């Protein structure tokens, strides 16, 4: 099946693309918010709550306080005491709701995405080939692994599969959001097709590789919806810490009652704290902020990866990305643009540079590869050589073949050839000419500078060499410097010879390179780094990359790659842009930072809350005659109005801080690539010291408001 | 796993021989030979060989002609079988104001206790200070052991006038004796300067005897 | 506060700093089995011990076996001590016939509950003295039942710390060392030689070392005074060096026989920190970066200096009620020879470490002055700490600090190249939880417990008439918030295996002896087991190489973070309790209120 496509499917991936269809939604998209509010109430179900120990404690506290409030109402007890327990109950319920809302809104973004994906799974009909070679129409949902189908222009590909025959351009925007069509062809590394995508040219035969319900889109829906979400190892550890702290604070609160009973008996003044106040203290102390936001952070982390059009198969993979120590990056397409460009013509001694340029241009006129075109352009721009017109028959273009490793043109009597230096040298030797040694010297010089030399010969005589240069993508040097600052080693993988590789590595600023790399070398490198305790990330697309992808701690498979590669990796880049590995690492780091920052903040907040509640709780204890309050009221450093207003302000602060930090949980903390020591210093100041100080003014303000609104007494 | 139990028993016995046998006995042997005075409790003996006390252990003095030690909470005062402080806290009414009760028979309750204020008042009276004078704190507080052999130099100086009067001598002589007997700080910076009450009182009896017949045969 | 007072503190710290490195290097060599100057003398004895006890030196134990060995050893020594104490009447070196019918009138009985409490106390390195040594313990009991534990529990503590350090230092290993070898080496190379030297210096300064019967002196004013004796110097040396704190006499290191001069006082303070400081350096060597050790040392130093500054300041400022009649700060419960600076320095050190020896009565400190020792113990005695225990306690904090703050550098947390994962967090939180529950739980219980009938047995102070008030809390010596402080400090000290006390509380009753005894056992062993589990799990891990993305744990920032974590975790757990004790008492004292 021939292709009519003229431009060869380019191996060059697009430059780093900003996220497209799945791109950044506004943080609080109205429909998502509406759904999240509804879901927050569903999450009040104690069975759901029990999975989150911190919030479960708040839930129980809310219930207890509500019962006490109800009893007060039934007993017609009026006064501040009842108003207080009612308000506390209300704000405790809000605390639970806010935590549920945070989780729901994080999930909501994924759910909206899943809905879009579901639309593509409309009832497609497949053209299945049965044994005798005939076609039959079956519903896509009936296809099993191993079935063969045919897809033509306009057909929706009925399921995940491998192209076994033909080549076609396919619109994968349904899953990638990328509208430019991609090429899928039998054999090689671009043979995988995804169900739900659309063939827009030619015809292909595919072998189905997944059973119904297990297709890529099904998995994708599951992943973005969070249905398949499992807690990551770090999340589990953090949950243990939070649960442990919760128990410690429960001990501190529960034992406070006997302490208070003893103290009241000794003092002969004051009263043991009421249950609503003890519950308030408990809820303020236990890490509700991080407890309420922890799952939202994890979901949002995967969502952020998704916004980069990368599909993480598990949260664990995203977390591991933050830990990566070594990045293996393929040179072509990741570090350099996929195509090399001619930058210079270097003639042999005694050859005019214009002659060389002319020959080079002539040899490349029919060469539609980017390299070929760049030679034409260079000759035109630098030597004013315009493209020429030839009459039919006057010129015969010699295409590149794997055997000759040369291309060129026969124009009249002149035979112009260009190709790899060794190939041209062989060609010259065969045709009885001598090869000037300068040719090799020039070629080596180019290799040393990281270029690729192409020799040009006319009529059995070498003219010189074209300097083809790898063009390093813009900004790569800076990014590698950032990686280095973060302690991540970058290793460039290339098939080039060591000289070229070293030069490019130097220019791009990577830390190390692996030259003349074969797939097994890559694997060996990963194992070596891992044996030293390092975590390795890599990208890959070919079938022969699959073992390495599976071995790497973070393996990002290109969506354009083979099914095997996609299954081996733990992430799939839907845009097939290997440079994105760097962003993935950054997202992973940001996710972990956000968790650490909010945990620290949550714990640091407790200091201020103690200063609000403890004086309030014991405001009348050990009171001395002539004083309005007992001595512990001196700890009321915020000068809060009254015991009731102080406790209420602390509880309201505790609830509102969850809402206030939802954007941080969803977007992640501000992230800059720097060394760990700097990051730590900065985050400790912002979230640690800030976490200690910030609540003081806010609790003070809430106290003012509470009193102003007559929700609590002013004295 | 239970062979660990056997090892435990064996190693306990072997190490006991070393740390509870050889070690203390070796220290005992060496110190009894080289440092017998200290090793046996720094005892002070009269010329007749009777033990008068230990320079390290405080003893009660109440007579005006002697320097008085700090108040003591060890038993009924300076009882080395009951070493102890008051363990009263800063807001203890007993510590500050004392306990003064009468029993039904009109006698003082044996559990009565002099508070800091009582001690200060008594100290002022003894030493002829004004009723509002602030006294050296060691004179009105009980030590940790109840056996504190020392008082502060300030405390000794305040008592000097009383002692001088009781012994019919002038204050400067007593002050000189205080200076002679006083310990400075160890190595010039450790602890506090102090006067050992037993030593200074023995020196008093030696140098300013009250009455020849009553002279206590003190340190040589 | 005086300049000379501060000079004592500064010189003390300077000397500690100077001794840390040599001590650390020495201990590293000892526990790695490398030759030291003591090898020619001690090695034959060491080998003999192994042969007698059937110990294979090269037998590398996994953490579970190491723990079992430690537990068996503790149980055996605990039972031995209990037996000796109960039978001391039938044992030698008991000139005063203490514990028998023929004991003098001032003698106190060795009841089963007291014997249990004391055995638990010495086994756990607490050395809580529910008894008064001079009227309860025979010389044999002191020497064999008690002083032996001063060696054993200290050596076990050092061994555990060394095992913990091995866990952090080794990679992909299953073993953490051999308990018997570590125990023997700690005893023979570290504790014993230093003790011999120090004990002789102590005798020279006036500490007794004899076995004779108590002398009866005829005092100058003519009354009788019974002067006790005993093998004091040999026990004092190990009491401080092993951060045990259990002395011969009730008044402990304030007793002039236990601490005759300011110089012995200074040596005692220095020896409390000597091993605790040195082992931090040993840790640095073991993990291949002494800066790691110095960072821990810096955090400990900062907390130590902060504590001593507050304590000295408050005590020098004194109690305003007493200041109205006297000058010179708070000298209640302090010895004249030590004064305020040496007393507060000692109080800070003895509670930074889990020593618990006292040269002044903490119960009589000003509220905030007394809060310093209380808080030092509440935060887990991680400031140099008990021999060994301080290091592993602080490393537990380090692991928690790394876990919480480490995430903020954008990597899953690691300490010394080892990933800190769910298991380690679980064990560290478990240890934290147990300590908090132990302190707060028993305090709460004792605040409100009406001792079950017959109250005449459970809570009667021996020698006094049966208590009508069956409340356990009636045993406090002070009323008002200070009474609460006494109860809180009691279980704080028991859990922290400190042994110092707000000593006014009458604790020699079955209720208190049992609760405190249990609290001590929980505080020691239920903390050690999770920590050894961490050591075992860490030893198995691979070591991630350091890069600029690694959370730095060897610099001032980390030391600062560690200080912050220790203070915040301690403050958050105990602030309400402390508010009802020392804090409210402070305000009441300023207001002139008494109870």
Per-residue pLDDT reduced to its tens digit, C384-441? 988 888 999 999 999 999 998 888 988 888 899 899 999 999 999 999 999 999 999 9
C387 domain-assigned: yes
Task: Count CB neighbours of A71 within 10 A.
Answer: 12
How far, in Å, CA of C134 to CA of B142, rounded?
A: 20
Question: Does A589 sit within 8 Å of C593, measured CB to CB?
Answer: no
C217 domain-assigned: no
Cα-based distances in Å from A407 to A439, A440, A465, A615: 18, 19, 14, 88
Closest Cβ opposite residue B38 in set C45, C204, C477: C204
A16-20, A484-488, A560-564, C344-348: which range is least confident on average?
A: A16-20
Which pLDDT score, from 0 to 100, does residue A690 have?
Answer: 95
Question: Does A322 sit within 8 Å of C410, measured CB to CB?
Answer: yes
Highest mean pLDDT pick, A8-12, A109-113, B131-135:
B131-135
Q: Is the pLDDT of residue B216 over 60?
A: no
Active-site residue flag, A330: yes
With bands split at pLDDT 50, 70 and 90, how would you rate the model's confidence at B1? low
Of A330, A496, A541, A545, the catalytic one is A330
Closest Cβ opposite residue C72 in set B8, B57, B91: B8
User: What does the pLDDT look like over A14-61, one tens digit per residue?
Assistant: 333 333 444 455 667 788 889 899 989 988 888 888 888 999 999 999
Min Cα–Cα distance to chain C from B62, Å: 8
Structure tokens at C516: 């405190």
Which pLDDT score, from 0 to 100, does residue A177 have?
Answer: 62
Q: How many Cα atoms are found within 13 Å in the side-chain-facing hemisphere of A64?
A: 15
With bands split at pLDDT 50, 70 and 90, how would you rate the model's confidence at A129? confident
Which pLDDT score, from 0 to 100, does residue A573 have?
Answer: 86
Instruction: Nearest chain C residue to A324 by CA: give it.
Output: C411
Question: Does B80 sit within 8 Å of C227, measured CB to CB?
Answer: yes
The average pLDDT across C583-590 equals 96
Which pLDDT score, from 0 to 100, does residue A2 have?
Answer: 37
Q: Is the pLDDT of residue A232 over 90?
A: no
DSSP string, B66-97: S-------STTTT-GGG-------TT-HHHHH
More confident residue, A400 or A682: A682
Min Cα–Cα distance to chain A from C409, Å: 5
Q: Which of A230, A231, A232, A234 to mutate to test the interface with C (most CBs of C within 10 A)?
A: A234
The average pLDDT across A491-505 equals 85
Question: Does B11 sit within 8 Å of C338, measured CB to CB?
Answer: no
Number of H helices, E strands in chain C: 22, 5
Q: Is the pLDDT of residue B219 over 50?
A: no
Contacts 24+ apart (CB under 8 A), A684-690: A684/A600, A684/C405, A684/C408, A684/C557, A684/C561, A686/A597, A687/A596, A687/A597, A687/A598, A687/A600, A687/A601, A687/A604, A687/C408, A688/A600, A688/A601, A688/A604, A688/C405, A688/C564, A689/A604, A690/A601, A690/A604
Min Cα–Cα distance to chain B from C177, Å: 15
The average pLDDT across B140-153 equals 96
Q: Which of C321, C406, C481, C576 to mutate to test the interface with A (most CBs of A within 10 A)?
A: C576
Give pTM, 2 decimals.
Answer: 0.89
Closest Cβ opposite residue C336 in set B8, B61, B151: B151
Look-up: residue for tokens 């020959």? A359
In angstroms, how far apart are the furthest CA atoms of chain A?
120
How many contacts (CB atoms, under 8 Å) link A and C?
233
C514 domain-assigned: yes
With bands split at pLDDT 50, 70 and 90, how would you rate the model's confidence at A515? confident
Summary mean pLDDT of chain A: 84
User: What does the pLDDT look like over A151-177, one tens digit per residue?
Assistant: 888 888 888 888 888 888 888 776 666
How many contacts (CB atoms, under 8 Å) link B and C?
404
Summary mean pLDDT of chain B: 92
Q: Is the pLDDT of residue C51 over 90?
A: yes
The average pLDDT across C209-225 equals 94
Instruction: Nearest chain B residue to C181 by CA: give it.
Output: B11
Task: Count CB neighbours of C202 within 10 A.
Answer: 32
Q: Is the Cβ of B93 closer than 8 Å to some Cβ of chain C?
A: yes
With bands split at pLDDT 50, 70 and 90, how would you rate the model's confidence at A6? very low
Which chains touch B (3+ CB pairs under 8 A)? Answer: C
Question: Does C403 sit within 8 Å of A241, measured CB to CB?
Answer: yes
Min Cα–Cα distance to chain C from B126, Å: 15
Which pLDDT score, from 0 to 100, does residue B218 have?
Answer: 43
Structure tokens at A359: 């020959």
The average pLDDT across C349-364 equals 95
The average pLDDT across A275-301 equals 93
Question: Does B82 sit within 8 Å of C192, measured CB to CB?
Answer: no
Q: Is the Cβ of B153 closer than 8 Å to some Cβ of chain C?
A: no
Q: Is the pLDDT of residue B217 over 50?
A: no
Question: Does B15 sit within 8 Å of C135, measured CB to CB?
Answer: no
C376 domain-assigned: yes
Q: Is A686 exposed, middle or buried (0-12, 13-18, 19+ CB in 10 A)?
A: middle
Domain total of chain C: 1
Q: Is the Cβ of B160 closer than 8 Å to some Cβ of chain C?
A: no
Domain that holds residue C482: 1-212+227-595
DSSP string, C29-59: HHHTT---TTHHHHHHHHHHHHHHHT--TT-
The average pLDDT across A582-607 equals 92
Partners of C426 on chain A (C-beta within 8 Å) are 237, 240, 244
Taking alpha carbons only, the member of C393, C565, C432 closest to residue A243 is C432
Which chains touch C (3+ CB pairs under 8 A)? Answer: A, B
Which helix (DSSP H) or strand (DSSP E) does residue A287 occupy?
none
Question: Does A680 sit within 8 Å of C412, measured CB to CB?
Answer: no
Q: Within the 116-135 window of chain B, which residues sit less than 8 Å (CB to CB) from chain C?
A: 116-117, 120, 134-135
DSSP character for A578? G
Which pLDDT score, from 0 to 100, does residue C466 have?
Answer: 56
User: What does the pLDDT look like over A139-155, one tens digit per residue?
Assistant: 877 788 888 888 888 88
C358 phi/psi in degrees, rounded to 5: -130, 140
Percent of chain C with pLDDT over 90: 85
With bands split at pLDDT 50, 70 and 90, how would you rate the model's confidence at C586? very high
Structure tokens at C225: 């005074």
Partners of A281 on chain C (C-beta within 8 Å) are 576
User: What does the pLDDT look like over C295-336, one tens digit per residue?
Assistant: 999 999 999 999 999 999 999 999 999 999 999 999 999 999
Taking alpha carbons only, the member of C508, C517, C515, C512 closest to residue C461 is C508
Q: Is the pLDDT of residue A366 over 80?
A: no
C552 phi/psi in degrees, rounded to 5: -80, 130
| Contacts (Cβ under 8 Å, ≥6 apart) of B209 | B215
C275 phi/psi in degrees, rounded to 5: -75, -40
In chain B, which ranges are E strands? 43-45, 51-54, 135-136, 150-151, 195-196
A569-578, A609-618, C367-376, C447-456: which range is least confident on average?
A: C447-456
Which pLDDT score, from 0 to 100, does residue C432 have?
Answer: 93
Angle between helical axes of A437-448 and A498-508 (0-180°, round to 10): 40
Q: Is the pLDDT of residue B88 over 80?
A: yes
More confident residue, A482 or C290: C290
With bands split at pLDDT 50, 70 and 90, how would you rate the model's confidence at C549? confident
The average pLDDT across C433-454 equals 90
Question: Does C319 sit within 8 Å of B40, measured CB to CB?
Answer: no
Which residues are paired to C415 by β-bridges? C418
A374-388, B1-15, B140-154, B195-209: which range is least confident on average?
A: A374-388
More confident residue, B25 or A472: B25
């Amino acid at each position: 099946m021939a292709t009519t496509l003229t431009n060869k499917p380019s191996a060059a991936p697009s430059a780093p693309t900003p996220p497209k269809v799945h791109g950044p939604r506004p943080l609080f998209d109205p429909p998502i918010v509406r759904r999240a509010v509804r879901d927050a109430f569903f999450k009040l179900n104690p069975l759901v709550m029990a999975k989150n120990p911190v919030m479960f404690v708040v839930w129980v506290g809310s219930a207890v306080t509500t019962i006490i409030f109800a009893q007060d109402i039934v007993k017609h007890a009026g006064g501040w005491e009842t108003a207080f327990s009612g308000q506390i109950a209300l704000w405790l319920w809000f605390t639970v709701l806010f935590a549920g809302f945070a989780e729901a809104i994080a999930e909501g973004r994924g759910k909206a995405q899943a809905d879009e994906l579901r639309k593509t799974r409309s009832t497609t009909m497949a053209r299945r080939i049965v044994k005798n070679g005939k076609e039959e129409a079956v519903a896509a949902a009936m296809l099993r692994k191993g079935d063969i189908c045919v897809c033509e222009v306009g057909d929706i590909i009925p399921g995940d599969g491998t192209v076994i025959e033909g080549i076609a351009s396919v619109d994968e925007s349904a899953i990638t959001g990328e509208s430019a069509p991609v090429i899928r062809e039998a054999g090689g590394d671009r043979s995988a097709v995804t169900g739900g995508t659309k063939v827009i040219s030619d015809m292909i035969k595919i072998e189905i590789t997944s059973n119904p319900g297990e297709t890529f889109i099904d998995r994708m829906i599951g992943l973005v919806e969070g249905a398949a979400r499992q807690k990551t190892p770090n999340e589990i550890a953090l949950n243990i810490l939070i649960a442990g702290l919760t128990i410690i604070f429960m001990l501190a609160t529960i034992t406070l009652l006997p302490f208070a009973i003893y103290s009241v008996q000794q003092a002969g003044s004051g009263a043991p704290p009421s249950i609503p106040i003890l519950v308030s203290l408990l809820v303020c102390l236990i890490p509700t902020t991080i407890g309420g936001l922890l799952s939202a952070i994890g979901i949002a982390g995967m969502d952020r990866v998704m916004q980069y059009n990368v599909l993480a198969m598990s949260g664990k993979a995203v977390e591991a990305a933050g830990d990566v120590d070594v990045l293996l990056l393929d040179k072509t397409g990741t570090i350099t643009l996929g195509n090399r460009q001619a930058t210079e013509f270097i003639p042999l001694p005694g050859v005019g540079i214009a002659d060389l340029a002319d020959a080079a241009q002539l040899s490349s006129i029919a060469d539609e590869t980017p390299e070929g075109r760049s030679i034409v352009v260079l000759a035109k721009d630098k030597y004013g050589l315009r493209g020429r017109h030839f009459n039919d028959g006057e010129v015969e273009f010699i295409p590149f073949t794997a055997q000759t490793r040369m291309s060129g043109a026969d124009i009249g009597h002149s035979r112009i050839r260009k190709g790899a230096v060794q190939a041209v040298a062989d060609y010259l030797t065969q045709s009885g000419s001598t090869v000037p040694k300068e040719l090799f010297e020039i070629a080596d010089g180019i290799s040393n500078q990281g270029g690729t030399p192409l020799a040009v010969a006319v009529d059995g005589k070498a003219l010189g060499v074209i300097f083809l240069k790898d063009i390093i993508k813009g900004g790569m040097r800076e990014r590698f410097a950032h990686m280095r600052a973060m302690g991540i080693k970058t290793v460039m993988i290339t098939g080039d010879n060591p000289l070229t590789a070293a030069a490019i590595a130097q220019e791009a600023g990577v830390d190390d390179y692996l030259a003349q790399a074969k797939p097994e070398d890559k694997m060996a490198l990963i194992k070596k780094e891992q044996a030293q305790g390092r975590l390795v990330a890599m990208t890959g697309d070919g079938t022969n990359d699959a073992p390495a992808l599976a071995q790497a701690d973070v393996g990002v498979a290109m969506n354009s790659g083979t099914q095997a590669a996609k299954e081996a990796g733990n992430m799939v880049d839907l845009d097939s842009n290997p440079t994105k590995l760097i962003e993935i690492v950054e997202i992973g780091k940001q996710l972990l930072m956000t968790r650490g920052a909010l945990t620290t903040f949550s714990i640091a907040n407790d200091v201020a809350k103690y200063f609000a509640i403890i004086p309030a709780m014991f405001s009348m204890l050990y009171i001395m005659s002539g004083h309005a309050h007992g001595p512990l009221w001196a700890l009321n450093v915020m000068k809060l109005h009254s015991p009731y207003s102080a406790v209420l302000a602390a509880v309201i602060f505790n609830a509102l801080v969850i809402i206030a930090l939802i954007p941080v949980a969803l977007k992640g903390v501000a992230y800059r690539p720097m060394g760990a020591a700097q990051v730590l210093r900065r985050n400790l100041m912002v979230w640690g010291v800030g976490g200690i100080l910030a609540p003081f003014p806010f609790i003070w303000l809430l106290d003012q408001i509470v009193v102003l609104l007559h929700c609590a007494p002013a004295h | 796993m239970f062979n660990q139990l056997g090892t435990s028993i064996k190693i306990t016995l072997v190490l006991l021989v070393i740390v509870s046998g050889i070690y203390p006995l070796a220290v005992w042997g060496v110190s009894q030979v080289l440092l017998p005075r200290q090793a046996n409790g720094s005892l002070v003996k009269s010329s007749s060989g009777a033990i008068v006390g230990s320079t390290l252990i405080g003893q009660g003095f109440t007579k005006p002609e002697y320097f008085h030690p700090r108040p003591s909470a060890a038993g009924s005062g300076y009882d080395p079988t009951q070493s102890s402080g008051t363990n009263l806290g800063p807001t203890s009414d007993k510590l500050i104001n004392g306990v003064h009760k009468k029993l039904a028979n009109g006698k003082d309750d044996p559990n009565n206790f002099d508070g800091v204020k009582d001690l200060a008042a008594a100290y002022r009276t003894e030493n002829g200070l004004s009723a509002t004078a602030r006294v050296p704190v060691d004179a009105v507080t009980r030590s940790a052991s109840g056996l504190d052999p020392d008082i502060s130099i300030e405390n000794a100086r305040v008592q000097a006038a009383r002692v001088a009067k009781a012994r019919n001598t002038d204050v400067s002589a007593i002050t000189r004796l205080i200076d002679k007997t006083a310990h400075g700080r160890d190595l010039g910076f450790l602890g506090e300067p102090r006067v050992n009450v037993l030593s200074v009182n023995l020196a008093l009896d030696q140098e300013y005897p009250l009455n020849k017949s009553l002279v206590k045969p003190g340190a040589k | 506060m005086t300049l000379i007072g501060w000079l004592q503190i500064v010189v003390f710290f300077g000397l500690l700093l100077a001794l840390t490195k040599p001590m650390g290097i020495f201990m590293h060599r000892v526990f790695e089995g490398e030759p030291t100057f003591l090898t020619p003398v001690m090695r034959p004895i060491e080998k003999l011990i192994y042969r007698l006890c059937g110990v294979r030196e090269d037998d590398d134990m996994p953490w579970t076996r190491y723990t079992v060995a430690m537990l068996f050893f503790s149980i055996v020594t605990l039972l031995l001590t209990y037996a000796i104490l109960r039978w001391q009447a039938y044992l030698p070196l008991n000139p005063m016939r203490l514990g028998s019918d023929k004991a003098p009138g001032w003698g106190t009985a060795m009841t089963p509950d007291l014997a249990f409490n004391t055995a638990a106390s010495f086994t756990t390195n607490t050395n809580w003295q529910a008894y008064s040594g001079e009227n309860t313990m025979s010389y044999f009991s002191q020497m064999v039942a008690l002083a032996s534990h001063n060696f054993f529990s200290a050596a076990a503590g050092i061994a555990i710390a060394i095992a913990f350090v091995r866990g952090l230092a080794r990679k992909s290993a299953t073993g953490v060392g051999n308990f018997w070898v570590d125990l023997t080496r700690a005893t023979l190379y570290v504790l014993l030689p230093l003790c011999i030297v120090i004990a002789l210096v102590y005798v020279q300064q006036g500490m007794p070392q004899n076995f004779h019967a108590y002398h009866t002196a005829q005092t100058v004013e003519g009354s009788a005074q019974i002067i006790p004796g005993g093998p004091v110097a040999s026990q004092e040396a190990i009491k401080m060096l092993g951060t045990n704190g259990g002395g011969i006499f009730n008044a402990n290191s304030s007793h002039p026989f236990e601490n005759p001069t300011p110089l012995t006082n200074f040596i005692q303070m220095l020896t409390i920190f000597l091993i605790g400081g040195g082992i931090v350096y040993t840790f640095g060597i073991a993990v291949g970066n002494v800066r790691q050790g110095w960072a821990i040392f810096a955090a400990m130093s900062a907390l130590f200096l902060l504590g001593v500054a507050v304590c000295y300041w408050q005590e020098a400022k004194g109690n305003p009620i007493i200041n109205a009649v006297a000058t010179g700060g708070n000298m209640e419960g302090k010895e004249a020879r030590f004064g305020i600076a040496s007393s507060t320095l000692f109080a800070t050190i003895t509670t930074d470490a889990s020593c618990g020896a006292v040269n002044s009565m903490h119960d009589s400190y000003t509220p905030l002055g007394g809060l310093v020792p209380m808080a030092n113990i509440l935060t887990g005695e991680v400031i140099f700490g008990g021999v060994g225990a301080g290091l592993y306690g602080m490393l537990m904090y380090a692991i928690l600090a790394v876990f919480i703050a480490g995430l903020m550098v954008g990597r899953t947390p690691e300490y010394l190249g080892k990933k800190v994962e769910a298991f380690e967090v679980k064990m560290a939180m478990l240890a934290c939880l147990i300590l908090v529950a132990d302190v707060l739980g028993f305090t709460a219980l004792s605040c409100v417990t009406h001792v079950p009938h017959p109250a005449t047995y459970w809570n009667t102070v021996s020698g006094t008439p049966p208590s009508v008030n069956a409340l356990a809390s009636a045993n406090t010596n002070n009323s008002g918030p200070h009474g609460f402080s006494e109860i809180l400090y009691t279980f704080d000290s028991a859990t922290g295996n400190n042994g110092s006390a707000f000593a006014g509380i009458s604790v020699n009753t079955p209720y208190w002896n049992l609760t405190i005894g249990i609290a001590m056992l929980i505080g020691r062993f239920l903390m050690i087991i999770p920590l050894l589990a961490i050591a075992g799990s860490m030893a198995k891990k691979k070591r991630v190489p350091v890069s600029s993305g690694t959370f730095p744990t060897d610099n001032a920032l980390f030391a600062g973070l560690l200080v912050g974590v220790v203070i915040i975790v301690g403050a958050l757990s105990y602030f309400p309790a402390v508010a009802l004790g020392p804090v409210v008492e402070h305000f009441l004292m300023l207001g002139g209120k008494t109870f």
